Structure 1
Amino acid sequence: MTKFINPGLIKTNRRNVLRGSMLAGAAAMTGGAALATPKSRTAPMITPRKPAAKFIQAEAQAQTEAPSVDLSGYTRVKQDLVAPPFAPAHEQVATGGPKIVEITMETEERLLTVDEDTGAEIWALTYNGSVPGPLIIVHEGDYVELTLRNPVDSMMEHNIDFHASTGALGGGGLTHIFPGEEAVLRWKATKPGVFTYHCAPGGAMIPYHVTHGMNGAVMVLPRDGLKDRDGNPLKYDSIAYIGEQDFYLPMNDDGDYKTYEVAGDDYSDSIDAMRTLTPTHSVFNGSVGALTGENALRAKVGETVLMIHNQANRDSRPHLIGGHGDFVWENGKFGNPPQTDMETWFIRGGSAGAALYTFKQPGVYAYVNHNLIEAALLGATGHFVVEGAWDNALMEQVVAPKSIET
């Protein structure tokens, strides 16, 4: 069994310790398939086993020998990513031929308050500073061309695994970047649907990074847009992008959440907390209340919202209290006909799902994980605040609450 170094116990040469742990973990998880150490970098304290070098060499040779791709028929466009719960500007029905969609993401290790009431915080590992990472939207047949950057002041190595892509561990094997590096990955969107992406350095560092917030979703729309099971077009007025995140925050003997000086200091404690398989928090978009109060999602009666729900690690059961899933792609894949009139749908850990609903009444709708323990006690609750006129034909309070005569 691979022995992981506890970065919280070693202050000197910290980055080499963390890199070494990741390299060894990668070898343990993939038979040495994830990483090799370039000669230009400082050698890690733990090095990958020999099969890693053989794998990397074979993969590099295979790419060198592969025929080059003719991209002359593709138009290049830039997509400006935005912070959740919002979606980037996009076409629901593609115009013109397939495109090369250029995006840039930068990893950021930042201190995130998970719950203001309890002072719970975590050194979140993020793409573009948000939990979840930004939503990416392309069409089937497009290429995603990602520039992934890791700032020089980062403490850790990062990469990205796209569940929507094909080959090289979802791109994870080709995007390992140390602090101060960047890589460019291009992959073809061949399957329509919503898919998870996440960081996957290797070994125990995979769940460590994922449960520290380093995950998000990409939506690959059919070129002719969404359709019901009979082939009729489905449109939406807006997107609500919801990332459900399970956190495992270490606690001291007094039951208080521990604090740490810099990212990575919590590694050993976090591994122990994660082994319990019991999250301290299950939240939407990074923190308790991130989608309630002033941060609530907004809509109007008659508007149709596409709710995209991503959970990179644990199963979830989204439910819209007061509404329904008019059309639901529970497994997230638009090549399959949507289910209709769903009350609660199931999102498998490591995947994303999508649901369309047209709001019919004004008021506050609670969007929850219908494991109600997680919704009420761990934080998995968001709100839609809907404006418009009430329809008594759908619901009416016939008698207001009053005392019972005895």
Structure 2
Amino acid sequence: MISRARKTLVATATALALTGGLAVTGAQASPGPDRHETGQGAGQGARQGTAWTAAWAASPQRPSTGFTANWSEAGFDKQTLRQVVRVTEGGDRARIRLSNAYGTSPLRIAGATVARTAKGASVEPGSVRRLTFGGKRSVSIPAGGQLSSDKADLGLDAFESVTVTLHLAETTGPATFHSQSFATSYRADGDHTTDTGARAFGESTESWYYLSGVDVSGGGTGKPADRDGVVLFGDSITDGFGSSTDLNRRWSDALAERLAKAGKQRPVLNAGIGGNLVLNDSAWYGEKSAHRFSRDALDLPGTGTVVVLEGLNDIGFSETDKPTYKPAPVVSARELINGHKKLIREARAKGVRVVGATLLPLGGSDHYGPRAAAVSDAFNEWVRTSGAYDAYVDFDKALADPADPERIAPAYDSGDHLHPNDAGYQAMARAVDLETL
């Protein structure tokens, strides 16, 4: 059975111009209404659009070497890219969102399909749907741009995996991507967008490329509904570092599953970036929180609540001798708190409920030192007592080792004393009072 549909506010229309395929202009082009919903042509503008809910999301990053080998710097050339994601909301129609946010030239999508996942790079026979963009099978996304596809009549259940396949027939140049997917993506030479089997897809990576979202819709009345999407915004702990690849064991997955079991199913979206900071941009770790908060969290279709867990890298990078972020500024508790206050103001200005989270214990990790410990303690006390957030969740206490509260409990430690393991991410989901969402 298809899970109950949720409608959302229709996103702002994308500025469109036809140049062979469909070209989106403007660096911040927003997801637009589905042109086919009213039977109008791509250039006419829709009088009535589909109400969409974000069912899966990933935050775009600029191309970089990253933590593990990836294809972002080299990009793609005459290849097909196949990516698998799991939605946390169901509907009877789907669309994808693509980002060329960090591209230096237009991105040409020669063809795209969406299908239900079978296993690995294979898809369920009979489920492949060709995607269009303003009625065209090909599209050009300008450097800095983003866009949504038209709707595809593909029914999806919550917690079902969906496969998105892109044919990149021209040289792309460096690719906008999401570095740490903890899911396998696949590549093949030539055009294999409609293949149901996996034979052609002989290369793989653990990153996502260009794909920033999958949205669903259930009824197509065009009426807005409750904004009940929950976005988890943060760094590598939100991103899922230390979780099991291809098993969907991030804390966002665990929270979505817990909500469903409690009879309170809501879409849960992951807006984590490994290494991300509240106060500073980084070539590897994404733009600082204030620069990406609207794009990656507040403006996703259907967002009603955001949970913010971020700051360990701001206070911990200056303690580590790793060269990935040097020189790292020494950040005070007051500076970190002021950075969070900016996020709170931005969320409230858009009518989004904002929940804060205490920082996890970091004792024994490469982020730990007397100064980092003191700043973490002061920040956590502010989260608990200030009332600045609408509510808070205390991960510091939930995951601490009773014998040494400065450290993550051994049962929850991935091994680096900084990131939880699968059990630790489950513990994070259990720590949330669902009523605060």
**Taking structure 2 as the reference length, what is the TM-score of the superposition?**
0.26
RCO higher in structure (CA 8 A, sep ≥6): 2
**Taking structure 1 as the reference length, what is the TM-score of the superposition?**
0.28
